[in-house]
Amino acid sequence: MKRKLLGLMLLVPALLLITACDTALTVGTKTIGIRSGEFIYTDGYLRAAYIFPFEKVWAACEKTVTDLKAVDVERVKKIATGNLTAMIQDDKVRISVEYVEKGMTAVSIMVGPSGNNLASQLIHDRIANVLKNS
């Protein structure tokens, strides 16, 4: 009984510390991370949800790719999903836009072959800025 109580007493503060900062967990070949409770990092993709409709987020992603002077841009858009693939400064960038619910859209970004978290974050920041100013 004391051992379980001691384990619980150590687990709760550890969980509080983990939830307050960047956390990643690797199981086999899968990696999942949480960043400041806002972004989720999964297998090289940095994912964030935006409180905007799908069409508006798709347009913001296209504008961001254009503003970054991307080349070899491929657009595949369906009813509730869309994918943009482009080369930006010699890095392959993959942007996936997905309808979540009315007024909410998720965007996943992978830069490079295995994912560059900083570059993905910068692209997310640009998308958020375009959405804020539109």
Domain total for the chain? 1
pLDDT tier at 84, thresholds 50, 70, 90: very high
pTM over 0.75: no
Q: Is residue 11 part of a domain?
A: no
Over the stretch 17-45, which tens digit does the pLDDT of each residue have?
Answer: 555 455 544 445 455 555 444 557 677 88
Question: What are residue 73's DSSP bridge partners?
Answer: none
Contacts (Cβ under 8 Å, ≥6 apart) of 25 = 31, 32, 33
Q: Is residue 84 part of a domain?
A: yes
Which domain, by its residues, includes 68?
A: 22-133
CATH number, domain at 77?
3.30.160.110
